Amino acid sequence: MSNRRVEAEGIEYELRFEPVRTSLSDSAPMLWGFQVFVLKDGAELGMKTCFVGRVSVQFRDKAALEGTTEELTPVLHDLATEKIVARLAEGEAGDEILFA
């Protein structure tokens, strides 16, 4: 697990990332999923279930697809963070499914 502090519309939040799960197949993974808990002042506001596709990762950092989990995970978290911060800016801190 890892945590990140973010700001949206002048409000500070903490994002707590759960472990990444990979789509199961005999070929290269096409989708990764993980949960991110949104907290404010230590209180849980909601959970974002994030799915990040291979195309998004390839566009952001093609080398991450061929690297280790330690190299891939930050890219997945960055893509999810962008989506979550955008939703927080719209006032949506509650549970939802997001695709990046």
pLDDT tens per residue across span 22-76: 877 778 889 999 999 999 999 999 999 999 999 999 999 999 998 888 999 999 9
β-strand 11-17 against 96-99: which pairing, if any?
unpaired
- Using the 8-state DSSP alphabet, how is residue 25 labeled? -
What pLDDT band is residue 77 in, cutting at 50, 70 and 90?
Answer: very high
Structural contact between residues 4 and 14, judged by C-beta atoms closer than 8 angstroms: yes
Structural contact between residues 5 and 51, judged by C-beta atoms closer than 8 angstroms: no
Identify the pLDDT of residue 24: 75
* Angle, helices 54-66/69-89, rounded to nearest 10 degrees: 150
Q: Domain ranges in the chain?
A: 2-99
Task: Look at the pTM and tell me if it is higher than 0.85.
Answer: yes
Q: Count of residues for the chain?
A: 100
Identify the pLDDT of residue 1: 61
Q: Name 54's Cβ contacts closer than 8 Å, sequence gap at least 6.
A: 28, 29, 30, 31, 65
At 83-93, the pLDDT tens digits run 999 999 999 99
